[in-house]
Structure 1
Amino acid sequence: MTNQGEIMAEKRAASWRWSKTGETQRRLLDAARDVFAESGYLDANIADIVERAGSSTGSLYHHFGGKAELYTALWDRHDSAHLEQVRAAVAAARRAGTSDPLELFCVGARAFLDGSWQRRDVAAVFLDNDGPPGFERRRREDRLEWIRQNSALLGPADTSRNRIMLDVVTDVIVESSREVVLHCRTRKQATAVADFMCELLRKLSV
């Protein structure tokens, strides 16, 4: 019969294996971010990615399946970080007493731009349409989901006016993020872009 000490040893071993797996994935994703940013998706070389990660081609295929899946996983990590940052900012604003839907929307939009500034190295990877086959469809689907989430604060897309408004305000955030990633060199500049973005959002949502 397995004693308590053996059980604890097995749990520690499993935890170590999981930790090691997570660290390997992180290094591969970080390396992929750098190589994709330098070369673009099409010209990125798996050999360069695994060399920079200090890993192996076999490990890359084991964890991600290939270059296309690695690119998508990088997008998922980036998108999830944005989502968590926005949710946390809106939740904090609610706790602080903000209840106006438009102001909460602006809080979330600012958090999105802050994430774009903090992670501008990886955000730059996705600015151009240089991705694996099918990725643009994934981005369109994510954008539709984003619009659906925006409607929770700004109102349902049940009229032509509301549908157009939701499309436009979403595009304002996307283009503001592009400005931050491509052209802002300081946080002060990024903050100025966020201020202008919120000014536009308030005008468009009247």
Structure 2
Amino acid sequence: MARKTAGKPVTSNAWQWGRTAETQRVLLQAAREVFSEQGFAEANVADIVERAGSSVGSLYHHFGGKTELFLALWEEHQGAHERNAISAVAKARSAGEEDSLELFIVGARAYLQGSWQRRDLARLFMNGDGPPGFEQIRRTRGREWIRQNNVLLRTSNTAVNRFTVSVLTTLIGEAGREIAMSPSKREANKITEAAVRYIRRLDPLHPEVE
């Protein structure tokens, strides 16, 4: 039988889905806090479910365990980076920007802004304290990031261009690490502007290589 909310019928399946999504959200937030405070290795499931006001059974039902929670947070963090960059680039294009390097910089700024906004997660994922196999996952994502940057920059497939885009991608990643460790937004902004200056100097569309 359907429930009614504000005059509209809501099926029991929709109600259950809503409860499931909320349970997952609360567990992820609790895991984010506990992992950020204790690190992956030292954190335990009991601390997470206590913080969430949930149960061990619920955690294992929704995620499967501590490792899966960590990886879900990683995917959520990376997904936010990608969505923000895509949105920023699309907005710049709709405003008339067509230069590939400028669009790349717009995407880089969005990534670095996210590194400050979610600095607790950025610090968590860069400290080397993760489940077995996590470093391989990070490396695979890094290679995909370089590929996406190549597409955005529309560079020709030469060794110099591939190398330059790899350097630029690494530069943005390292700037993100420094921003996550910054004591203030002002310091984070300085790092962002320094990164942008280096990107312009390295311009992969016009490399200064004889």
- TM-score normalised by structure 1 residue count: 0.92
1:110 matched residue in structure 2: 109
8 A Cα contact 2:100 2:154, kept in partner: no
Separation of aligned partners in 1, 2:115 and 2:128 = 18
2:68 matched residue in structure 1: 69
Decide which moves more: 176-185 or 102-111.
176-185
2:150 matched residue in structure 1: 151
**Structure with the higher helix share, 1 or 2:** 1
Counterpart check, 1:124 vs 2:131: no
SS of equivalent residue, structure 2 residue 64: coil
Separation of aligned partners in 1, 2:156 and 2:3 = 54
Residues 136-147 of structure 1: matches in 2 within 5 Å? 136-147=135-146
Separation of aligned partners in 2, 1:31 and 1:64 = 13
Separation of aligned partners in 1, 2:114 and 2:41 = 26
Separation of aligned partners in 2, 1:30 and 1:124 = 16
Task: Note closer, same or farther for the CA distance 1:8–1:28 as it changes in structure 2 (3 Å cut).
Answer: closer
1:3 matched residue in structure 2: none
Decide which moves more: 88-97 or 18-27.
18-27
Residues 49-68 of structure 1: matches in 2 within 5 Å? 49-68=48-67
2:189 matched residue in structure 1: 191
Task: Note closer, same or farther for the CA distance 1:14–1:105 as it changes in structure 2 (3 Å cut).
Answer: same
Could you tell me the percent identity over the aligned residues? 51
SS of equivalent residue, structure 1 residue 98: coil
1:204 matched residue in structure 2: 202
Separation of aligned partners in 2, 1:66 and 1:26 = 15
| Residue deviations 1:65-117 (CA, integer Å, cap 9, x gap) | 11111100000111111110000000000001111000000000000011111
Alignment-mate amino acid for residue 150 of structure 1:
N
- Deviation of the 1:156 alpha carbon: 4.6
2:177 matched residue in structure 1: 178
SS of equivalent residue, structure 1 residue 158: coil
Task: Note closer, same or farther for the CA distance 1:184–1:89 as it changes in structure 2 (3 Å cut).
Answer: farther
Separation of aligned partners in 1, 2:183 and 2:160 = 33
1:29 matched residue in structure 2: 28
- Deviation of the 1:174 alpha carbon: 0.5
8 A Cα contact 2:2 2:12, kept in partner: no
Task: Note closer, same or farther for the CA distance 1:48–1:8 as it changes in structure 2 (3 Å cut).
Answer: closer
Separation of aligned partners in 1, 2:144 and 2:137 = 11
- TM-score normalised by structure 2 residue count: 0.90
Decide which moves more: 92-101 or 124-133.
124-133
SS of equivalent residue, structure 1 residue 183: coil
8 A Cα contact 1:60 1:66, kept in partner: yes
- Deviation of the 1:12 alpha carbon: 3.0
| Residue deviations 1:48-73 (CA, integer Å, cap 9, x gap) | 01100111111110011111111000
Unaligned stretches of 5+ residues in structure 2: none
